[in-house]
Amino acid sequence: AQSVAQPEDQVNVAEGNPLTVKCTYSVSGNPYLFWYVQYPNRGLQFLLKYITGDNLVKGSYGFEAEFNKSQTSFHLKKPSALVSDSALYFCAVRDAGNTPLVFGKGTRLSVIA
């Protein structure tokens, strides 16, 4: 069975500083990994994904994530945080095919001016 762990409920970072939101996963085959962001009372917006290829994936709004197979991790990063990045971030994984995503519990990012 697939699972995703986001060990931090909350991450606080000062504006302009680098940010990292952690994610580890468990899947039987090759993982399809995703990051989504959710703003209050809104649906999820796709940020980036790893399917195959380069381990460093670049996505929307300056975010990037690094796939680390040995550590089964897919941490989300941004070199310089903005106040507008404050939101709820979800890591998700699935197998190949049209299988549903399995989500982590989410990490609330708060960027302080």
Partner 1 sequence: GAVVSQHPSRVICKSGTSVKIECRSLDFQATTMFWYRQFPKQSLMLMATSNEGSKATYEQGVEKDKFLINHASLTLSTLTVTSAHPEDSSFYICSAIAGGLETQYFGPGTRLLVL
Q: Which residue, 6 or 78, is less far from partner 1 as judged by CB?
A: 6
Per CB under 8 A, which region of 14-22, 35-43, 68-76, 79-87 contacts partner 1? 35-43
Question: With binding defined as CB under 8 A, does residue 103 bind partner 1?
Answer: yes
CB of 23 to partner 1, least distance (A): 12
Q: Which residue, 82 or 101, is less far from partner 1 as judged by CB?
A: 101
- Judged by phi (left if over 0) then psi (alpha if -120 to 50, else beta), residue 41 lies in left
Question: With binding defined as CB under 8 A, does residue 101 bind partner 1?
Answer: yes
Question: With binding defined as CB under 8 A, does residue 42 bind partner 1?
Answer: yes
DSSP letters, 7-73, are --SEEEEETTS-EEE--EEE-SSS-EEEEEEE-TT--EEEEEEESSS-SEEE-GGG-EEEEETTTTE
Q: Which residue, 28 or 98, is less far from partner 1 as judged by CB?
A: 98
Question: With binding defined as CB under 8 A, does residue 98 bind partner 1?
Answer: yes
CB of 76 to partner 1, least distance (A): 16
Strand partners, 76: 21, 65
Alpha-carbon dihedral 25, 7, 74, 60, rounded to 10 degrees: 130
